[in-house]
Structure 1
């Protein structure tokens, strides 16, 4: 079968379409005939080599979420899964493929009216947005600033903060047109990428990190909490904590959040809720573009150029 692997870390042109053996599900696993693949910000971070120290090596197949139909199951898995349309988490990779393996505990049946494209746009981003806000101890009536709101994770955070009763939802983005679209999804204030003109916010959800992270600590209200949910802009500078210490008397907090720390059953319950809410029109999936699997490098070029609003979906 076809897969897309990273042959050279760095530029998207280091990705290649390769032939690999069709996998066989092991104990507790299912095989999914892939119909849609979500292209996430973490895929770009891995491809650039930012996480080189975390065991990613040449030949790594990118992608962590797919949607399609279960065609086979391994030992210990109920055969009733065969033929079901599902969303599936493939782990640290293995998603840019024609047929994917996932643990049965990482699979969620799809509502009949939910498209596979919507599923891979909502599945991971919704969970990170939901539990990221919870990790920040967000409560109704508080104000939220979302840094890097134009991607699928930022878009879901906007919607979930509005759904949960935020008093104000500010977003940083790169254009007026994107700002209008984010307002339609629930944002109340649109700022430039530097967050200029912002007031103080109770919670900042940061998808970007990068060298400008320290400049966002002064945008927190007393007892404010900043939660890093992504590293799309790379790691912060080594001395980033100096800016936080400068506001010592404001009692600020900084935390990181990874969905891997949340029990799988809790993650799946949230996904089912988000999928159902989307079918009712209460949440909205934003698919930027659908491309063939063999154009994965083009998708990454678009992400690196800042052209993507929402999520690109690949189709085998």
Structure 2
């Protein structure tokens, strides 16, 4: 099968298409014939080499989520899965390929009317946005800022905050055009990347990076920042001093990973979000569909900040 591997960490040109054996599903796994692959921010961070300390090595196949049809199952998996059209989480990699394996516990049957491209645009992003807002203890009537709102995760956070009854949904983005598109998805205030003057109860931060400390200043008393991504890199090592400098405001900071949410809870939310998208109650924003061979181009566009929504690779 064709697959994309990272031959050298760093520039997107370090990725290449190679021939690999079709994987064999292990115990409690399914094999998926892939029809759509989501290009996520974590794929970019891994490709850059920023997570080498987590065990990622040259030859790694990126990709954490795919959609397609189950063609085989491993031991202890009901054979009725074969032939079903599904979304699947492939873990820390393996998705940039024509076939991928996934734990049956991380597979969701897709509803009629939901495309594979929409599924991989919503699948991971929707769950992180949902539980990220919950981690921030967001409640109706509070104001929310989504920092880095133009990617699939930020777009889902905007929609869910608006649907959850936020008094205001502010966003940071890079252009007026993107701002108008985000308004159509539920944003009520468009800010430049500095984040404006503040006044937010909750900040959902997809970016992190060196400017993260300044966003603590934009919180109301008892405000909470939850970092759900780090496409801008790590924050300064001393950023916690900003919280201590605002001691009397009782600010809170947290990092959030959906890996800490029990699997059944993730699957229940994902199933409901797919159904909502099929009904038209949630919108999946696909920036572009590219062939698998153009994975490097997809990453160059991600690096350049050109993507609104999610790029989807098609084998």
Which TM-score bucket, shorter chain as reference? Answer: over 0.9
Runs of 4+ in structure 1 displaced over 6 angstroms? none
Residue 159 of structure 1 pairs with residue 155 of structure 2:
no
With the length of structure 2 as denominator, give the TM-score of the two structures: 0.99
C-alpha distance in 1, partners of 2:107/2:18? 26
- Report deviation, 1:26: 1.0
Partner of 1:27: 27
C-alpha distance in 2, partners of 1:51/1:109? 31
Output aligned runs, 1:1-316, within 5 Å. Answer: 1-196=1-196, 198-316=197-315
The one-character-per-residue Cα deviations of 1:151-181 (angstroms, maximum 9, x if unpaired) are: 0000000000011100000000000000000
Question: 1:224 aligns to what SS in structure 2?
Answer: strand
Which structure 1 residue ranges, 5 or more long, are not aligned?
none
Question: 2:30 aligns to what SS in structure 1?
Answer: strand
Which structure 2 residue ranges, 5 or more long, are not aligned?
none
C-alpha distance in 2, partners of 1:122/1:199? 29
RMSD: 0.6
Question: 1:60 aligns to what SS in structure 2?
Answer: coil
C-alpha distance in 1, partners of 2:9/2:194? 29
Question: 2:231 aligns to what SS in structure 1?
Answer: coil
Question: 1:61 aligns to what SS in structure 2?
Answer: coil
C-alpha distance in 1, partners of 2:53/2:168? 38
- Report deviation, 1:238: 1.0
Query: Does structure 1 conserve the Cα–Cα contact (< 8 Å) formed by 2:148 and 2:205?
Result: yes
With the length of structure 1 as denominator, give the TM-score of the two structures: 0.99
C-alpha distance in 2, partners of 1:49/1:172? 27
Question: 2:150 aligns to what SS in structure 1?
Answer: coil
C-alpha distance in 1, partners of 2:205/2:76? 40
Question: 2:31 aligns to what SS in structure 1?
Answer: strand
- Report deviation, 1:199: 2.9
C-alpha distance in 1, partners of 2:95/2:240? 36
Q: How many residues align?
A: 315
C-alpha distance in 2, partners of 1:309/1:189? 18
